[in-house]
Structure 1
Amino acid sequence: MAILDSKGRLFGKINLLDLGAALVTLLVIFVVSSSILSSLGVAQVGEKLVPIEVDLVVRGLNVRDPEQLFNNGLKKGGKTNVIIRNQPYGQIEIKSVQQLPRTVNVFQPDGTVKELPDPKTNNFSTDMLLTLEGKAKSTESGLVLGSSKVKIGMPFELEGFNYNFNATVIDIRLKDQ
């Protein structure tokens, strides 16, 4: 019995074209499934999550009653939704919220400069310092929240039930474990 007969069948049973098509189909299924699994993070089993703290500054947030915002939305121990570079990260815990005083630089007669409270009557502008804490992937090029690297100067969008505003990262720290 010949390996290949006159009709192109292997051992008289399997057509070579059918065998080639089956192998190509299996290869396509393998490539697609491996790319889906790697995008889901299953292939990244060895990556290490580390606890971090991120300090954010908010300048000139227009809000009628900052105390209501701090009591109902942004409060210590609460959670806020974070969007980094238009990519939703999810919820992250709020470690602290501190309202910063509005000040202005005033030149003195002797040439020095003093920082004094801003005398403006506009009470609707608020500055804040927020500290968020969560877990990030540690890579060679920095810390990664979700799929976005976190660097000083990056904008974060914070969203909750009654607020949506931007803040800027001013510090990133690895939290003591």
Structure 2
Amino acid sequence: MAEKPSNFLKRLNPIDLGAAAAVLLAAVGVIWSPKLAGSVARATGGMKSVLVTVDVKGIPSENPNALLSKIRADAKTSLVIRNQPHGSVDIKQVTAINRRVVVVLPSGVVTTAPDPNASGFSTLDARFVLRGDGQVSKAGVVLGNQALKIGSPVELDGATYRINGVVSNVQIINP
């Protein structure tokens, strides 16, 4: 014999309703994940190609030139923003930055000269230009659910290196 609907509703416990709501919220959370949001943004044109310039300074390295050559050959690096992995980005360009010192001449003229200590210390100073896909929002460019702005600390992670740097430029590439 079938129960009347009113008897069924009377048997529902508030705990059962809470459990059903928790399951429903969990299902919505799984469906509306960051990967899905990125896929939807890519499909609707919300994702744009972005060039990010990252400067690194004073990174100890036995052979900075060999490290730069290896990084160029890899052509990809993993990007970590505020300790959150973003994923892999393309390396468009890597250039060594030569340290310079400010010198005041006896005549009072201020000039710059190559750092004489650079040859004694084996450190890496470089500028990385990275290309990735990000969303453009009111808060700026968002990569990996993190707003990326000039001055943001980032980490470049490869097979043989983990380098801390600072974003020095963010540029949206128009198609």
Unaligned runs of 5+ in 2: none
User: How many residues are paired up?
Assistant: 167
Counterpart among 86, 90, 105 of residue 89 in structure 1: 86
Q: Identity percentage over the alignment?
A: 28
**Aligned partner of 1:147: which letter?**
N
Q: Tell me which of 112, 115, 118 is aligned to 2:115.
A: 118
Which shifted more, 101-110 or 34-43? Answer: 34-43
Contact 2:94 2:127 in 1 (8 A): yes
Deviation of 1:27 (Å): 4.2
The answer to which structure has the higher helix fraction is 2
Contact 2:101 2:115 in 1 (8 A): yes
Look up the match of 1:4.
Answer: none
- Report if the CA contact (8 A) 2:93-2:128 is conserved: yes
Over the aligned positions, Cα root-mean-square deviation in angstroms equals 2.5
Alpha-carbon distance in structure 2 between the residues aligned to 1:165 and 1:134 = 18
The alpha-carbon distance between structure 1 residues 52 and 81, as it changes in their structure 2 partners (threshold 3 A), is same
Q: Does 1:35 align with 2:29?
A: yes
Query: In the alignment, what sits opposite 1:161?
Result: 159
- Which amino acid letter does the alignment assign opposite residue 126 of structure 2? M
Do 1:76 and 1:96's aligned partners in 2 also have CA atoms closer than 8 Å? no
Could you list the per-position Cα deviations for residues 117-148 of structure 1 after superposition, in whole angstroms to 9, with x for gaps in the alignment?
11124240221111000100111211110111
C-alpha distance in 2, partners of 1:136/1:43?
12
The structure that has the greater radius of gyration is 1
Gaps of 5+ in 1: 1-8
Letter in 1 for 2:4: L
Partner of 1:16: helix, strand, or coil? helix
TM-score normalised per structure 2:
0.83
- The TM-score normalised by the length of structure 1 is 0.82
Confirm or deny: 8 A CA contact 1:49 1:137 kept in the other structure: yes
